[in-house]
Structure 1
Amino acid sequence: MTLRSVVRGSGSALPKRVVSNAELAEQVDTSDEWIVERTGIRQRYIADDSETTSSLATDAARRALEAAGFDASSIDLIVLATATPDQTFPATATKVQANLGIADCIAFDVAAVCTGFLYALTVADSMLRGGNAKRALVIGAETFSRILDWEDRGTCVLFGDGAGAIVLEAADEDGKGILDTRLHAAGQHNELLYVDGGPSTTKTVGHLRMRGREVFRHAVVNLAEVLTETLEGAGLTAADIDWVVPHQANARILDATAKKLGLDPSKVVVTVDKHANTSAASVPLAFDEAVRDGRIKPGDMVVMEAMGGGLTWGAAVLRY
C-alpha cells in the first residue's frame, strides 16, 4: 500500500476591487506600457478594509471543500501559508478554522513568503502520510497591499491580494497524489527581498523592499534547479509533465525558467497578468483557475514551483 496525499478539490478567492495599471499610473510615476513590458502584469486585486487574509482564506477554503464534496467537519488539519497574517498571533489558520465551524483540528500558519504554499503543502503531505491527519486544507492567502510602499514604483506595481486553497486526502489511489516535494532556503540573501519592520525589531509592520534584478537572477537559476531535482525524485522528466503551475511573480521569470528547462511555454499556467504577484496565494490561485477552466484534468502530471524572500524556494510534483 502506497499512501499519498491526493488532491480532492481546489478553490480561490479575490478581493472585489480590481486596480488596472492605468489607475495605478494616476497615483504612481509609472505607465501601463512600463509595467507590462517589464512584468506582464495588467491588473491586480486590492483588498478593502473589510477584506482580510483570513476572510479571503475562508472563502477559498469553502470553495475547495465544495469542489471536493467534503463537509468542513471532516477536515482535521489546516496549514495556512501567509506573510500577512491578520494578527501577530494567534495563527490565521485558527481564524479560518473558526469561520468554517470546525470544533477541533490541527491548525497553524507557515511563513515562507512566496514559497509559503509549497512549504505548507510539503508539511501537510508529510503529516497525512505519517498518519497525523486524514484530510487537510492547504491554503495560501495574502493581503500584500497592506505592506507595500505605494510611493515605490519598483515594488508597489508588482503585487496583489488573494487566496487559494486545496483539499488533500490520504489515500492509495492508482498513482494519484503528491509524488515528490523539495524545499530550500538561503538566509544569507535576506537583503534581496524583505520587510523593513517587525515586532522584535522596529515594533512596526514595515514595508516590502526588493532588489529586483538580483532576485530575478536567483529565481531563474534556483527554480530550474529545484524543478529538475523534484522531477528526478519522482523518476520523471520534463517530457512527462502536462502542466507547470509556477509562482506568478513576473512573466519574464516564467519565460526564462521554461526555456532553461526546455519546457513548452503552452504547458505553463500564467495568471500574473490578471492577479500580479500574490505571494503565497499565487500557486494555488493559478492551479484552481487551470482546474476550473478545464486545462488541468484528472490524471494530469502537474509541477508546482515558487521562490520568495528568505530566500526560499521549492517545488512539488503531483498526479491530479
Structure 2
Amino acid sequence: MYINTLSHYLPSEVIGNEYFTNLNNLSSEWIVERTGIYERRKAAQGENTSTMAIEAVKLLLEDNIPFSKNEIDLIVGGTYTPYDTIVTVAHAVQHHLALPDIPVVTISSACSSLLNAIEIVEGYFAMGKASKALVVVSDHNTAYYNESDTVSGHLWGDGASAILISKERQSDSDMQIKKLITGGAATSGKAIEAVVLRPNERGVIMPFGRDVFQNACIYMPKVSQQVLQACGLTINDLDYLIPHQANHRISLNVINTLGIPAEKLISNIQYLGNTGCAGCAIALSENRSRFVKGQNIVITVFGGGYSYGAMLITI
C-alpha cells in the first residue's frame, strides 16, 4: 500500500495553559512538567468531528493528488468522539465528495483508530474490493471532555487529518506502507476502566492514569520493534518515530526504551494537546517536507481499552 498524499486541519482557537490555571488553579509549569503541553486547539462553535474531517479532505484535494477524486472506491473514518453516531464521519465525507455506491465505514478503537482504519483499507485491498481509499481521522475531544477534571481536563485538543492510500504506487513521491501490526491488550492492567468516555456520565475521565502510562510504555516500544523486525530492520534503521500524542513523558520513555535519540522523535502534543486518533496523522502531515527518500518512519499508537499498534512507512 502507498500513501499518495495527506493533509491536516486544525481549529483556529488556541487554548493556553493559563485557561486551566484560571479554571482549576493548575499552574502552567505543573501541566508542562506532567504532560509537555503548553497549548491546544479547540473547535469553534459550529465545528464538529465531521466538519473538521471535511475541512481536512478539502485541503487534501487542493494538493496535486495523482488521480481523480471520482476514482476513490473506499472511505474509512476513525474517531471515538463522533458528532453523529448514525451518520458517521466517513458518511459525512462521502456526502461532501458526492461519491455514490462505494464502501464506507467508520472504526472506533480509541486513540489507535488511525492504524485500525488503515488496516481496514489493507483488508479491502487484499480482497480486491477497492484500490484507492480515503482515510479520515478526526477527534473533537473538547465536545466530550470535562474541563474541570484536574486529572485529564487539560490534556485534550481537536483536529483532523485525511490520507489518500492506493494499492499500487501512483508516483515517485508516494510513501510505502511496508508493515502494519495492531492488537488489543484489554486483558492487561486496568484496561477497561483506566480511560473511559461514557455518554451518560461526566465526559472523558482517567481514573487510572498511571496504569495507562505504564502499559503505553510497554506496548508502544514492543510493537515498534516487532514491525521493524518483520521487515528485517533494526532500531538503527529507523529515522523517525511518531508515537501517539498522549503525553510527552510517555514519548520520551518510549524512545529511551528503544534507544532512539531525541532528534528522531516527532511530537506535536506540546502545541496541540492530545488530538486523539488524529494526532499521529497530523504529525506525519506536518512534517512531510522534512522526509527524504529511503527514510524509515514508524508510527506507534496506544489507546483506551489498551488497543495498540505500529506501522512502518518507507519514504
SS at match of 1:153: coil
Q: Specify which of 31, 34, 46 is matched with residue 35 of structure 1.
A: 31
Distance verdict in 2 for CA 1:25–1:231, change over 3 Å? same
Aligned equivalents of 1:186, 1:254: Cα separation in 2: 19
1:222 aligns to what? 219
Whether 2:99 is the aligned partner of 1:102: answer: yes
How far the C-alpha of 1:232 sits from its partner, in A, is: 1.1
1:201 aligns to what? none
**Preserved CA contact (<8 Å) 1:65 1:71:** no
Distance verdict in 2 for CA 1:172–1:129, change over 3 Å? farther
SS at match of 1:248: coil
How does 1:1-320 map onto structure 2 within 5 Å? 5-69=1-65, 70-171=67-168, 177-188=176-187, 189-197=191-199, 204=200, 206-210=202-206, 211-291=208-288, 294-320=289-315
**Preserved CA contact (<8 Å) 2:220 2:243:** no
Gaps of 5+ in 2: none
How far the C-alpha of 1:241 sits from its partner, in A, is: 1.4
Aligned equivalents of 1:185, 1:106: Cα separation in 2: 25
Aligned equivalents of 2:41, 2:276: Cα separation in 1: 13
How far the C-alpha of 1:88 sits from its partner, in A, is: 1.7
Distance verdict in 2 for CA 1:194–1:305, change over 3 Å? same
**Preserved CA contact (<8 Å) 1:135 1:169:** yes
Distance verdict in 2 for CA 1:205–1:121, change over 3 Å? farther
Which range moved further: 124-133 or 8-17? 124-133
**Preserved CA contact (<8 Å) 1:139 1:284:** no
How far the C-alpha of 1:66 sits from its partner, in A, is: 3.1
Aligned equivalents of 2:297, 2:309: Cα separation in 1: 14
Aligned equivalents of 1:106, 1:68: Cα separation in 2: 24
Q: In structure 1, what residue type is equivalent to 2:211?
A: E
**Preserved CA contact (<8 Å) 1:121 1:138:** yes
Distance verdict in 2 for CA 1:28–1:315, change over 3 Å? same
SS at match of 1:155: coil
Q: In structure 1, what residue type is equivalent to 2:178?
A: L
Aligned equivalents of 2:29, 2:310: Cα separation in 1: 32
Which range moved further: 96-105 or 112-121? 96-105
**Preserved CA contact (<8 Å) 1:68 1:167:** no
Q: In structure 2, what residue type is equivalent to 1:313?
A: Y
CA deviation profile, 1:281-300 (whole Å, cap 9, x unmatched)? 10101110011xx2223432
Gaps of 5+ in 1: 198-203
How far the C-alpha of 1:270 sits from its partner, in A, is: 0.9
Aligned equivalents of 1:276, 1:95: Cα separation in 2: 25
How far the C-alpha of 1:206 sits from its partner, in A, is: 4.5
Computed over aligned residues only, the root mean square deviation of the Cα atoms, in angstroms, reads 1.7
**Preserved CA contact (<8 Å) 1:72 1:101:** no
**Preserved CA contact (<8 Å) 2:4 2:175:** no
Q: In structure 2, what residue type is equivalent to 1:178?
A: I
**Preserved CA contact (<8 Å) 1:9 1:65:** no
Aligned equivalents of 2:68, 2:258: Cα separation in 1: 40
Which range moved further: 22-31 or 37-46? 22-31
**Preserved CA contact (<8 Å) 1:53 1:86:** yes
Query: TM-score, normalised on structure 1?
Result: 0.92
Q: What is the percentage of aligned positions where both structures have the same residue?
A: 31
How far the C-alpha of 1:226 sits from its partner, in A, is: 0.6
Which range moved further: 98-107 or 52-61? 98-107
SS at match of 2:111: helix
CA deviation profile, 1:35-68 (whole Å, cap 9, x unmatched)? 1111110100111221111111111122223335
Aligned equivalents of 1:241, 1:68: Cα separation in 2: 28
Aligned equivalents of 2:164, 2:61: Cα separation in 1: 7
